[in-house]
Structure 1
Amino acid sequence: MDRSHFTSPKDILHDLWSTLSLPPSVLSDDTLVEITGPEHTLPSSYRLSLIPPAAIATSALAASLIYSHRTTPINENPKIPKVKINTTHATTEYKSESYIQILNSPKPLEVWSPVSGSYQTADDRVIGIHANFPNHAISALEILGLPPDCTNKSTISSAVKLHNAMDLETTAHTQKAVIYALRSPLQWKQELQSSHLPKFPIIIRKISDAPSGLPPTLQSPHSMPKSCLSGLRVAEISRVLAGPVCGRTLAAHGADVLWIHGPHLPSLPGLDVDTSRGKRSTFLDLRDGSERNKLRELLSTADVFIQSFRPGAISSKGFSPKEVAALNPNGIIYASLNAFGESGPWKDRRGFDSMVQLCSGVNVSEAEYFNNGEKFRKWPCQALDHTAGYFLAIGILTALHRRIVEGGSWEVHVSLAGVMEYITSLGRIEGKEGFEVPEVGDVQGVEEFLETKEGMVGLVRGVRHAGRIEGVEVGYRYMPTTLGYYEAAWEAC
């Protein structure tokens, strides 16, 4: 779908809200959402600058809608608190992993593995290797015939030059590595997977019947809730950025987010410190039957289940959408996220933001507009990851609204490639004009959007949540802890 006529973040907000069939009366009051700040904040030929304020504002407005269900008598028109957002603050939050710091730590938090990067191949093409998880690095190095502890870029580059790009991509898929070939937009369109992407990035479907009305966790008859989602129970099994951003967004609006890790799985401390804010971290080993039963017990009274593993991975443990819905008679929202969507030959492939940008033509077309001889040019932030996280949160809150109004358990799905399709549908800025904007940069320039709080891991400085709601608390109640610190149990009511 062509959305190139959109000129403001509110155009995107209206598109998301109306396509998701959320109450149209909310859109009739243009004062409900106030967006301030510069129009252009991200250097790109794509209309990327519209996305951060639009996605965060829509998620905040959806949270505000849930708040109105909790505070407005049934027979009255809902009173929805006003949402405020600053475009520079929203863009800063889209780079939150770049600003997170443990101030009293002797060494900085590292996000990228030395194996990750872009490399020239034998057929004069470019491949990207994503190896931030140790197992992905070992698999990639094995394919290249290198020792598992190799971190020398020159050595890796020489090994890559012995192979053709498509051979490496195909082999990686079968050997559990993450390697993709750089493609032009035309080459991407020639891939069958491109025809399987949804025309709208947030997919919602009903799983089963359940009672309508406020979930028990959101009922507070004797007091006004301090935050939109206080009491909402969210079980999150996700890693890296997109899924954790979704959980962090719900946590910012007061939800009790239990972030579940497998004690045997590798972590990403450079990202986890940022995305764990607002959450309680716990361990459950789903290889163990008693631990799986513990998760079933949690889900029997949960409101939301977020998982971002490859299709089938969680279902194989007994946690498919229908199985999870059957655990909870009050209704539950099952939210999942993957790289390339629910159908097509690539639906089971591993993928990350930078790899989807690389293989879908985005990086090549960006370089063509910049026109300085580069083969490819990356976006100035992990826009697919962050947008997918906020879109998944928007989908969850939409499903929660439907659960309240009509009942049922609901499934929500978002993919990185589906988000890419949406962002590129916004059109382009002609010539180099889109790049002529100062990039949101050093800490001093964004100081007003940062907060510093004491956590178990030290004094943590990070980006505050950019969505503000008038008269309602928004923010992170918990600071990062060591992984698995909390018991696998919901907060006491």
Structure 2
Amino acid sequence: MSATHTLADETRQAVDALLDGQHWANAQSSQRLHFHGHVPAFDSAHKLTVSAASAIGAYALGVEQWWHMAHGQHQSVALDWMQAACSLNPGHFQKQSGYVLPALSLLTELKADFYRTQDARWFFPIGSYPHLRDGVLDLLQCANTAEALANAIGKWEAHALEEAFAERKLPGIYARSAQEWLDHPQGRLLAGKPVIEVEKIGDSEAEAPRACTRPLDGIRVLDLGHVIAGPIVARSLAEHGADVLRVTSPTIQDPFRQTVDTNIGKRSAFLDFDRPVDLARARELISGADVVVQSWRPGSLKARGLGAEDAAAIRPGVIYVTVTAFGDDGPWGARGGFEQLGQAVSGVAVNEGGNGKPSVVPTYLLNDYLTGYLGAAGVMMALIRRAAEGGSYHVRISLARTSMWVQSLGLEPGYTPGQPRRHFADNLAPMLETRDSAYGPLEQLPPVAQFSHTPASWRLPPAPNGAHFPQWLKP
């Protein structure tokens, strides 16, 4: 059997495991996934291409089942290995008017890296927004240079620094091995949960899928997320016709590169949840939504009356998606965090670094996009259950749990951690599509999973934040 066929079987097995327990998923379901193209090699200890193809394949099969329920026919789904691999960090490849878009500004972002602590652990601070950067520098009483951060962090013991960051609601974690994380109360808690958690939280009438041109025509998605993982849940649903309305704060906007990537296929509006009139408008939008996605710090929206139970009371039958760093219950249930902290806390970064300094995966991003694809799979699971038995559902996914799942797929055989790495994009050559937009011509990665009868595509180019009114389109 060829290596490509073995990889396809391995990916289907991972998809089967993600869909285990779904009444509609059987031994034939993952056989509808067909893989083709060149399999790129990463200088990584982890199975990055398999994890990307598995997460995308799981939500694609949920969409395919939804179509089957409405039309009585099945589709096959094709995934190109190269496109799947590049979907872990598609923003790296996108271009505006022929130019590659830069990542976060070096003028505003903290010099994030793994820094040695006094007790010989490795600490990763994040300050990707000015207020977070300033908070970290104020706590450490140092300048925003790698040398100053190293000197300041070197005066702290790892646990004490981690707790000081948490007390000030700043994102920072010291790297643990996979076993150390499983021995931690929060790690044990997450290990006992499914990768995609779907909980019924209320009763409602069943809502069957309607026969439409595209699988998710007529499904309304309110995207209250920020940065990457939450908005990717909603963007994935937009690939198949969902009406997605992105709502962001005018005072806390995502960086430009992320906005251009995650706003594809959506309309975008402003609401300020510190204003009562805007909170009331958000509740009106929830009353007309099928799906609500949010990825703010645990408890933030609940404190404003926009939590999962609130949404289920406003709109019985709603699917509410919560994206967190470490889960929303347990001893760390109130902590926020970003992509790289999931890698650091769970053992991924230690695996990548070997016996030396920990390292994030070569794509830099791992959990953000994978968690978004897994969240989209959770939405489809919940929609299918709602069609059969009614009910409101809470879908929970977390960055740390995603990293734990990636490790469960096994390590790449023969890879030596800590060896010199090529830049991750050196052997990646994805196919891009060009679209006109308010930003000029954009070249971006198209949807990875392509369907035999209903090709996946985005109807809308990425909209600038606040470009639309906060209202649903008329049916």
Shared fold, TM over 0.5: yes
Give the match for residue 161 of structure 1: 154
* SS of residue in 1 equivalent to 2:176: coil
Conserved 8 A contact 1:121-1:165: yes
User: Matched residues in 1 for 2:40 and 2:103: separation?
Assistant: 29
SS in 2 for 1:259: strand
Q: How is 1:24-39 mapped onto 2 (pairs within 5 angstroms)?
A: 24-25=25-26, 27-28=27-28, 31-38=31-38
2:66 alignment partner in structure 1: 66
Question: What amino acid does structure 2 have at the position aligned with 1:356?
Answer: G
**Aligned residue in 2 for 1:74:** none
Count matched residues.
464
How far apart, in 1, do the equivalents of 2:293 and 2:187 lie? Answer: 25
Partner AA of 2:61 in structure 1: L
- Looking at structure 1, the residues matched to 307 and 102 of structure 2 have their Cα atoms a distance apart, in angstroms, of 39
After TM superposition, list the pairs within 5 Å mapping 1:69-468 onto structure 2: 69-71=69-71, 78-103=72-97, 108-110=102-104, 113-146=109-142, 150-197=143-190, 198-214=192-208, 219=210, 225-329=212-316, 331-368=317-354, 374-381=356-363, 382-432=365-415, 441-442=425-426, 445-447=428-430, 449-468=431-450
Q: Give 1:80 deviation, angstroms.
A: 1.8
Separation (CA, whole Å) in 2 of partners of 1:320 and 1:30: 34
CA distance in 1, matches of 2:455, 2:50: 25
**1:304/1:334 contact within 8 Å kept:** yes
* Deviation per residue, 1:142-161 (Å, 9 max, x gap): 10113xxx533333333333
Structure 2, gaps ≥5 residues long: 1-6
Distance in 2, matches of 1:219 and 1:228, equals: 9
- In the alignment, the residues of structure 2 paired with residue 468 and residue 111 of structure 1 have an alpha-carbon distance, to the nearest angstrom, of 34
The separation in 2 between residues aligned to 1:131 and 1:122, in whole angstroms, is: 21
Matched, 1:12 2:14: yes
Q: 1:244-301: CA deviations, max 9, x gaps?
A: 1111101111111111101121422121111111111111111111111111111111
Of 161-170 and 49-58, more deviation after overlay is shown by 161-170
| Pair 1:29–1:241, CA change in 2 (3 A) | closer
| Residues 104, 432 of structure 1: alpha-carbon distance in 2 compared, 3 angstrom cutoff | closer
For 1:478 and 1:395, the matched residues in 2 are separated by 24
| Cα separation, partners in 2 of 1:463 and 1:273, compared to 1, 3 Å | same
Contact 1:235 1:299 in 2 (8 A): yes
Q: Distance in 1 between matches of 2:50 and 2:428?
A: 20
Which amino acid is 2:437 matched to?
A: G
In structure 2, the CA distance between the partners of 1:170 and 1:49, relative to structure 1 (3 Å rule), is same
- The answer to whether the 8 A contact 2:36-2:79 is kept is yes
Could you tell me how far apart the structure 1 residues matched to 2:455 and 2:9 are?
Answer: 31
Matched letter for residue 354 of structure 1: Q
Alpha-carbon contact 2:248-2:465 (below 8 Å) kept: yes
Secondary structure in 2 matching 1:359:
helix
Residues 372-413 of structure 1 show CA distances to partners (whole Å, capped at 9, x for unaligned) of x63213212322221111111001011001111111111111
Percent pairwise identity: 27
Deviation at 1:416, TM superposition (A): 1.3
Shift of 1:428: 2.2
Q: Secondary structure of the equivalent of 1:401?
A: helix
Whichever residue aligns with residue 58 of structure 1, its letter is: A
Give runs of ≥4 in structure 1 deviating > 4 Å: 104-107, 433-440
Residue 165 (structure 1) shift: 2.5
Question: Hey, what's the Cα distance between the residues in 2 that align with 1:138 and 1:409?
Answer: 40
The root-mean-square deviation of aligned C-alpha atoms, in Å, is: 2.5
- One-letter identity of the residue aligned with 1:294: R
> How far apart in 1 are the matches of 2:386 and 2:283?
21
TM-score (normalizing by structure 2) = 0.91
Structure 1 position 109, deviation (Å):
4.6
* 1:196 CA drift (Å): 0.8
Instruction: Rate the CA distance shift 1:30–1:315 in 2: closer, same or farther, 3 A.
Output: closer
User: Residues 339-393 of structure 1, C-alpha deviation per residue, up to 9 Å, x if partnerless?
Assistant: 111322111112222112112222112322xxxx632132123222211111110
Q: What amino acid is aligned across from residue 127 of structure 2 in structure 1? A: A
Identify if the C-alpha distance between structure 1 residues 283 and 30 changes in structure 2 by more than 3 Å, giving closer, same or farther. closer
Once the two structures are TM-superposed, the CA of residue 133 in structure 1 deviates from its matched residue by 1.6
Give the secondary structure class of the aligned counterpart of 1:347.
coil
Alignment TM-score, normalising by the size of structure 1:
0.88
SS at match of 1:290: helix
Which amino acid is the alignment partner of residue 169 of structure 1? E
- Cα deviation per residue 1:36-88 (whole Å; 9 max; x = unaligned)? 234564332233331111111221121111122222xxxxxx31211111111
Q: Is it true that 1:469 corresponds to 2:471 in the alignment? A: no
What SS does structure 1 have at the residue aligned with 2:356?
A: coil
Structure 1 gaps of 5+ residues are 72-77
Q: Contact conserved, 1:134 with 1:266, CA < 8 A, in 2? A: no
Local SS of the residue matching 1:402: helix
The SS at the match of 1:461 is strand
